[in-house]
Homo-oligomer: A and B are copies of this chain.
Amino acid sequence: MTQDAPSQSRKPSLRDPFDAGHAVALGTDWPLQLDCGTALGPFTMAYRTYGRLDAEHSNAILVCHALTGDQHPVDPPHSNRPGWWQLMIGPGKPLDTDRYFVICANVLGGCAGTTGPKEINPATGRPWGLDFPVITIADMVRAQTLLLDHLEIDRLFCVIGGSMGAMQALQFAVSYPERTFACVPIAGAARHSAQNIAFHEVGRQAIMADPEWCGGNYLEEGTVPRRGLAVARMAAHITYLSEPALHRKFGRRLQDRQAVTYGFDADFQVESYLRHQGSTFVDRFDANSYLYITRAMDYFDLVSEYDGVLARAFAQTPVRYCVVSFTSDWLFPTSQSREIVHALNAAAADVSFVEIETDKGHDAFLLDEPEFFAVLRGFLQGCSDHWRLTQSATGS
């Protein structure tokens, strides 16, 4: 593993923090050793920072994005829509950019600039497609440590993320406890459940059933598996919302009509909404990336990695954890966060656990949830106080 290998050029990216982002070549001296056995490098990591890194390089928060997220949680370029964590990150917000230096990188295998199946394979000069190696959550995290090396950040103040971001945050804290002061896994799990693997498999089969997918070579064939990817997104999108939220938002209301049409048009608002979710997703996401990233989530299993005893993953961890779940999240239900908390308790780790009452389902981690925000503010303030004590105690 090359996570401790220095990358070729150490340039802290402290230019205008609200620009459109950076891209850095990593793994140039030593390639990244992936779990599948392949060595990858050099590879590009696209990332974004918000706020200013302090002189001690001690105020960095790594934000890990979810399946279809990107490195632009705030002010995405070429978009008039807010970023996916626009509510969370910024001056005076829970991840306060007046205090913290927030880093967010597109994951390995992604399609927003970091090397993934849609990028060019230098060995062939053609898009990777299915020749791209299958990556894991641990691989994503290894790549992130190379980025931190590049930014000269030895230790994160905090690593945080929701959904797949929670998997990365957990993996980061478990693999690199010495580089992690605090960890906030939100709406996550220590292993991907059978039901969630099943939903991912449906999405993958929908993509691969589309003839325009061309066995993964659609970029070379000049096609796009639009319909398959849209179906995958539609199925997934249902799982991000709760039944009560769907009922509240749409119920059985009709779309621009007074009566049903006795046909297969989108009579109901919820159908129209889903179709819109599917068709707009295709414009911003790569179908092969969807295959790779869902597979990385399926493979995530911290429990089996530690011989079936999750507490061993946290043995003697110095990391302060705050585990967050949402009552109406049925994709990553509270029971799965509780499994993490029980293991942390069994390891006598420093952990707080909050289940937020909401009817908004899994997507609650992206939405305006005042109690959730208050919890994060409180936890980060508490960590900040401790961190200062630690720093002064060690004289650093």
Contact = CB atoms under 8 A, between A and B. Distances in A.
Contacts of A246: 193-195, 198
A35 B262 contact: yes
Interface residues of A, number: 58
A46 to B, nearest CB: 24
Interface in A184-215: 191-195, 197-199, 201-202, 204-206, 208-211
Contacts of A243: 193-195, 330, 333
Interface stretch (A107-115, A293-301, A371-379): A293-301
A210 B209 contact: yes
A39 to B, nearest CB: 14
A198 B238 contact: yes
Contacts of A267: 298
A353 interface: no
Contacts of A197: 252, 268, 270-271
A127 to B, nearest CB: 17
Interface core residue of A192, A211, A241, A262 (most chain B CB under 10 Å): A262
A105 interface: no
A1 B271 CA distance: 31
Interface in A285-299: 291, 295, 298-299
B238 A202 contact: yes
A90 interface: no
A338 interface: no
A314 B272 CA distance: 33
Interface string A133-159: 110000000000000000000000000
Interface in A224-250: 227-228, 230-231, 234-235, 238, 241, 243, 246-247, 249-250
A251 B299 contact: no
A251 B194 contact: yes
Contacts of A134: 262-264
Nearest to A242: B195
Interface in A258-274: 260, 262-264, 266-268, 270-271, 274
Closest 10 CB pairs of A and B: A209-B227, A36-B262, A134-B262, A194-B246, A201-B271, A195-B243, A194-B270, A194-B250, A202-B235, A202-B234
12 contacts: A134-B263, A134-B264, A193-B246, A194-B246, A195-B246, A198-B246, A201-B234, A202-B235, A205-B227, A209-B210, A209-B230, A267-B298
